Structure 1
Amino acid sequence: MSIEMEAPDGLVRRDSLYGEAEKVSVDKHHGSGASWSQTLHLAFQSIGVVYGDVGTSPLYVYSSTFPDGIKHQDDLLGVLSLILYTLILLPMLKYVFIVLYANDNGDGGTFALYSLISRYAKIRMIPNQQAEDAAVSNYSIEEPNSQMLRAQWVKQKLESSSSAKIALFTVTILGTAMVMGDGTLTPAISVLSAVSGIREKAPHLTQSQVVWISVGILFLLFSVQRFGTDKVGYSFAPIISVWFVLIAAIGVYNLAAHDYTVLRALNPKYIVDYFERNGKEAWVSLGGVVLCITGTEAMFADLGHFNIRAIQLSFTCILFPSVALCYMGQASYLRKFPDNVGDTFYKSIPAAMFWPTFIVAILAAIIASQAMLSGAFAILSKALSLGCFPRVEVVHTSNKYAGQVYIPEINFLIGAASIVVTIAFQTTTNIGNAYGICVVTVFSITTHLMTVVMLLIWKKHMAFIAAFYVVFGLAEFLYLSSILAKFVEGGYLPFCFSLVLMALMATWHYVRVKHYWYELDRVVPATQLTELLGRRDVGRVPGVGLLYSDLVQGIPPVFPRLVDKIPSVHAVFVFMSVKNLPIPRVPPPERFIFRRVGPAEHRMFRCVARYGYTDQIEGTKEFSAFLLERLKMFVQEEAAFSCHGDGDDDDNARRWEAQAAAEEEKRFIDAEAERGVVYLMGEANVAAAPGSSLMKKIVVNYVYTFLSKNLRESHKALSIPKDQLLKIGITYEI
C-alpha cells in the first residue's frame, strides 16, 4: 500500500515504507542542448577516447582476412568492398544514427539499455522499486501511451514472464562478459600488431622476441591504469588525430603510386563476385573482415562523456574518411605486391615515413587499449551497482568525469589474461579469431535489446522495427557464423572466458535475489516492533544507530536478532538502505527518502539512500553529516505537512505546537549525533535450505560463500570504518 498526503501548496508525499510501486519515466539525451562550439570541442575530444580501437584496425585486417595469401587479384576488390560497406552498415547506420539515441540519460552500453528497459517495465528480480523513485529529476518521463496497445502488451509480457526477465538478464551479462573479453583481447592484438612493424627495420628479430617486447608494453599499460585516463586524456585526441592524418595520407599516396582503380570497389557488385568465386572460403574470410569494426561499441559505451552530435560529427568527418582511404591504399598496394599481405600496413608505408608512423602506431595501440579498458571498468561498475557483480573496489579516478573508474582486481585479471593470450597465441591471426567473436556477440546483443526498446519505449512502426532487426540481425548472424567456423583456432577463448564470468555474475545475482526475498517475506510487523521496544530489558542508549539492510520496505528480520543479543537501541535509530536506481546519477538533494517508524517518541526512522550507477558513495563523515542534516529537514517538513488546515486559531495553535516539537526533536538529534554514530550491519551467512538440489547447494554453499569471503566486505564498499561498526551474525536458509 502506498499512502499519499497533500499539503496546501499542492506538494504530494508518498509513503512506500510498506509497499512498492513504480512510475516509469525517462529523459532522452540527444545532446542537442550544447552549442556548436561545445559540440566541435567534444567531437575533437571523442577522437582520442572513442576511436582508438577501430582506428588501429588497419594494422591487422588484411592479414587476418587472407591468412593463406591472395589467390585472385579481384579478391582484393571484393574484400575492400566488404570492408567499406561493413563500416557504413554497422558503425555508421546502426550505431551512429540509431543506437546512440537509445541512451540512458546520456549513458550508453549494454547495462544502460537494460536499466532503461527496467524503468519502463519491472524486469529486475529484486522488487525494490518505490513510487518516490519516479520523482528523481532525471528519472521522470512519460508513461507508455495507453493507446499504444502493442507497447502495453510488451510491458505486460515482460513483467509477467519470469523467462523473459531471465532472458534479458542473461543477454545483458553475456554482453558484459564479451566486453570484458574485448578489453582483454584489444591490448593483445593492437600492441602486438603495432610492435610487429619493427621487423621491417630489424629483420633479425624473431616473432618470439616481438611477443616479449609486446608483453613489456602491456605490463606497463596495465601498471599505469591506477592513475586513471583523466591524467593522460588530454594527449589522446592529438595523438589519434595525427594517426588519422598519417593513415589517410599514406592511403592517398598508395592510391596514386600503385593502382587507383581499386576505387571500383565502391560498387557492391564485387562482393557478389567475390562470394561466387570463392564460396565457403569467402564466407570464412568474413571473420577477418569484421575486425575492421572492432571498438564500435565504444561509441555507445563512452557516450556519457560526449553527446550524440559530437560522435556523429567525428565519425562521419574524421574516422570514416581516414580508415576508408587507408584500406583503399592498402588494397592498391596489394594489387602490385600481393605476397606482402601478411604485413600490409608497414610494407605499404613510404620509407621516409616509417619511423614516425611506427611510433604513432605504438601510441595509438596503447590508446586503443586504454579506451577499451576504461569502458570495461565503467560497465563493470554499473553491473556492480545493480547487484549483478561480486563486490570489488571501485576507485573513481576523475573529479571531472563520474564514469572514469579503476577496479584493481579486474585490472589485474584482465592484464594477466591479456599477457597470457599474447604469449600463447603469438600472432594476430589467432587472436583475431577470438576477438571477432567478442565484437559480433556484443553487436547482436545490442540489436536484440534495441528491438525491445523500439517496441516498448520508442513505439516505432512495426515495419521500421522489422527492418532494423532483419537487416542488422542478418548481417551480424553472417559474421558470427563465419567466426564460429574458427572456433578451434582461438575462437573458443572468449566463450570459455565469458562462461566463467557469467557463472560468477549469475551466482552472485541469484543469491542476492533469494536473500532479498527471504528478508522481504520475514519483515517485522509494526506491532512486534512496539513489543520489542516495550520489553523491560530493552533500554535506549546514547547516540545515533544506523542499521544497514538491503530492504527498502519494512523492518528487516535482523533487528529482533540485534535486540535479543544486545538488549538496547540507540536514542535515534535509523533503518538504513542503500539502493541503486536504474539511472546514471541521482542529484544529492534528492538522495534520501525518510519515513518515521512508529510513534514520534520512538525516534526511529526509515531511510533509503539512492544512487545512480555512476554515483560514488560519500566518505563516512560526509555521508553521516549529510544524512543527519536531511533527517532534520524531514522532521521540519513533516511538521509542516501535519498541521495544515483552514487557518483558524486552533490550526495556528497546532501549527505552533508542531513546529516547536520539530525544533526540539532537531536539537535532540544534534545532541545524540555529538555522542557518536554507530553503524550496525547484519552479517548474513547464506546457506541452501534442507532438501535443495545438489546444484543449488554447490552454488550457494560453495561458490557464493567463496566469493563473499574472498572479495571486498560490504562495510568497505560502504566506506564504514571498523571502529564504528557492529556486526550482527544471522543465518538465512534460502
Structure 2
Amino acid sequence: MPRLSGCAFFSDKIMQAKVDLLHTGAEAMFADLGHFSKKAIQIAFLSSIYPSLVLTYAGQTAYLINNVNDFSDGFYKFIPRPVYWPMFVIATLAAIVASQSLISATFSVIKQSVVLDYFPRVKVVHTSHQKEGEVYSPEINYILMVLCVGVILGFGGGKEIGNAFGVVVIMVMLITTIMLTLVMIIIWRTPPVFVGMFFIPFVIMEGSYVSAVFTKIPEGGWLPFAVSMILALIMFVWYYGRQRKIEYEMANKITMERLGQLLAMPEVQRVPGLCFFYSNIQDGLTPILGHYIKNMSSLHTVTIFVTLRYLLVSKVDQRERVLIKRLGPRGVYQCTVQYGYADNLSLKGGDDLVAQVMRCLKRHIAMSTDRRSSVSTEEEIANLEAASLAGVVHVRGKMRFYVGDDAGCFDKVMLRSYEFLHSICRSALPALGMPLQQRVEIGMLYKV
C-alpha cells in the first residue's frame, strides 16, 4: 500500500496540486521569526497549531468518507450546525492573524533590502527597542492594501486566490532549499555527502510539487510570478543605478590634495558660519563639493563632512556615536555619525545632532595630537564657537544622471528609471527635522 500510494501521489499532478494547499499557511509561522522568539513559536506550534490542524483534517476526512459528494465544500459542511457561526468567527479571526504575520514578514524583508541598498528607501518605523526585527512601514502597508483589494476585485473568487497562494508557498520552499544548500556549501563548508543527504530528498519532493502547481498557473497561479517580476525589476533598476552612482563618485571623488588646490584659488573665500556637508563617501569627499566650490567660490570657515552610518543595534553608546577626524585644510573636518534603530538623530531639542557633533569636535580638538597648523587649541575652539554663532547650514547633494547620446539603449532606460525611483523615494538622510532656512541642496549632473 505505501508503494501504491506513493506512485499515485507522484503520478497524479492534479492531486498533488490539491495536496499542496494543505500545508499553505505553515509559512506564516516562520514569518513570525524576528517578531517572536524561537521558543514561543515552538510552544505555540506543538501545543496549539499542530494538534488543531491534525484534528481538523481528521474531522474533514471522517466526514468526507461518509459524504463523498460534499468534497467541494466539505470544509463548511463538516462543522456541526450548533457551532457553525462561532467557528466561522474563529476562522475569520485566524485568517486575520495569519495575514498579519505575512504583512510583518513583508516589512522585515523590505527593511533588510533597504539596508542592503537593494530597494528604494521607504519609511521604516521600529516598534520595539529590544527586537530589531519588529518594524512597520506605512508606504508598504498601503501598497499591500491596494494589492489585496485589487486581487479580490480582480479574481472575485477564492479558487484563483488559493491557486496563487499554493504556487507562492511551494516556490518559497524550493527557493529556501536551494539557498540553504548554498549556505551549507559556501558558508558552513559542509561535507558534500551531508549536503546531498539534505538537498536530494527535499528537491525531489518540492520539485514534484512545483511541477504539479504549474497546472494552476492559468487559473490564478500567474499572479505571484507577475508580482515577483515587477519587484525584481524595481530592485535591479535601483541596484544598477546605485552602482553607477557609486562608480562615478569614487572615480571623481575630491582628495585632500584636490581640496587644498580648490581652497587655494584666489577667488575662493572662506565665509563665516558652520556648514554640515552630508556625504556617503568615507574615503574621500563627494564630487558635489568641487561643483559647489567652483560655482559658489566659497566655503564656510568651519565645514564638517558628515556621513551617517546605520548599525544593526538598538542604540549606539554616546562615546562611540560621533567619530571625528581633522582633514588637511584649516577648519575642515570629517565626521561619521553611527546610530541604531532606536536612536533619535533629530536636529530639534537641546541635545540634538548638531550639539552632539559640536561637543565631540571640541573634545577631539582638545585631545588631538595631529595638529597640522600653527593655530592653538584655544583659538581653534574659539573659531568653532564663532562659526556656530554666525549660523548653521546643512548642505546635501542632489544628483541626476546625464546620459550622453553615445550611451546604449539599456543604459538610458535603466538610468532614467532609476531617476524616477529616486525622485519618489525618501531622502537618504533620516528624518532629521532640518529647519527650512538652514537647508541647502546642491544639484549636479553625473555624466555617464
- The 1:662/1:442 distance shift into structure 2, 3 A limit, reads farther
Deviation at 1:472? 2.3
Contact preservation (8 Å) 1:454, 1:460:
yes
Q: Which among 80, 84, 102 is matched to residue 350 of structure 1?
A: 80
Q: Which among 408, 413, 418 is matched to residue 698 of structure 1?
A: 413
- Aligned runs of 1:193-232 on 2, under 5 Å? none
Paired residue type of 1:480: V
Unaligned runs of 5+ in 2: none
Secondary structure of the corresponding residue to residue 34 of structure 2: helix
Pairing 1:430–2:160 present:
yes
State the match for 1:727 in structure 2. 441
| Count of residues paired in the alignment | 442
- Aligned runs of 1:463-502 on 2, under 5 Å? 463-502=193-232
Pairing 1:559–2:289 present:
yes
State the match for 1:80 in structure 2. none
TM-score relative to the length of structure 2:
0.88
Paired residue type of 1:336: N
Deviation at 1:340? 2.3
- The 1:671/1:479 distance shift into structure 2, 3 A limit, reads farther
Cα root mean square deviation, aligned: 2.9
Deviation at 1:531? 1.7
CA distance in 1, matches of 2:25, 2:316: 32
Pairing 1:609–2:337 present:
yes
- The 1:294/1:625 distance shift into structure 2, 3 A limit, reads farther
Secondary structure of the corresponding residue to residue 387 of structure 1: coil
CA distance in 1, matches of 2:244, 2:185: 30
Contact preservation (8 Å) 1:586, 1:610:
no
Pairing 1:620–2:329 present:
no
Contact preservation (8 Å) 1:543, 1:677:
yes
State the match for 1:577 in structure 2. 307
State the match for 1:273 in structure 2. 4
- The 1:563/1:607 distance shift into structure 2, 3 A limit, reads same
- Aligned runs of 1:52-451 on 2, under 5 Å? 270=2, 272-277=3-8, 280=11, 282-398=12-128, 401-451=131-181
Secondary structure of the corresponding residue to residue 607 of structure 1: strand
- The 1:585/1:689 distance shift into structure 2, 3 A limit, reads farther
CA distance in 2, matches of 1:291, 1:579: 44
Q: Which moved more, 1:296-305 or 1:358-367?
A: 296-305
Paired residue type of 2:345: E
Deviation at 1:625? 3.0
Deviation at 1:397? 4.5
CA distance in 2, matches of 1:638, 1:448: 52
Contact preservation (8 Å) 1:386, 1:580:
no
Q: Percent of aligned positions with the same letter in both sequences?
A: 34
Deviation at 1:720? 3.9
Deviation at 1:530? 1.0
1:501-539 residue CA offsets vs partner (Å, 9 max, x unmatched): 211111011101110011001112222211222233323
CA distance in 2, matches of 1:626, 1:445: 46
Paired residue type of 1:731: L
Structure with the higher strand share, 1 or 2: 2
Deviation at 1:499? 0.9
- The 1:682/1:377 distance shift into structure 2, 3 A limit, reads same
Paired residue type of 1:475: M
Structure with the higher helix share, 1 or 2: 1
Q: Which among 239, 259, 266 is matched to residue 509 of structure 1?
A: 239
- The 1:478/1:512 distance shift into structure 2, 3 A limit, reads same
Deviation at 1:603? 2.3
CA distance in 1, matches of 2:194, 2:129: 41
Paired residue type of 2:163: N
TM-score relative to the length of structure 1:
0.55
1:119-140 residue CA offsets vs partner (Å, 9 max, x unmatched): xxxxxxxxxxxxxxxxxxxxxx
CA distance in 1, matches of 2:429, 2:435: 8
- The 1:542/1:468 distance shift into structure 2, 3 A limit, reads farther
Secondary structure of the corresponding residue to residue 288 of structure 1: helix
Deviation at 1:411? 2.2
Contact preservation (8 Å) 1:538, 1:569:
yes
Secondary structure of the corresponding residue to residue 486 of structure 1: helix
Secondary structure of the corresponding residue to residue 464 of structure 1: helix
CA distance in 2, matches of 1:717, 1:697: 32
Paired residue type of 2:402: A
Contact preservation (8 Å) 2:316, 2:343:
no
Unaligned runs of 5+ in 1: 1-268, 644-657
- The 1:638/1:440 distance shift into structure 2, 3 A limit, reads farther
Q: Which among 304, 311, 325 is matched to residue 595 of structure 1?
A: 325
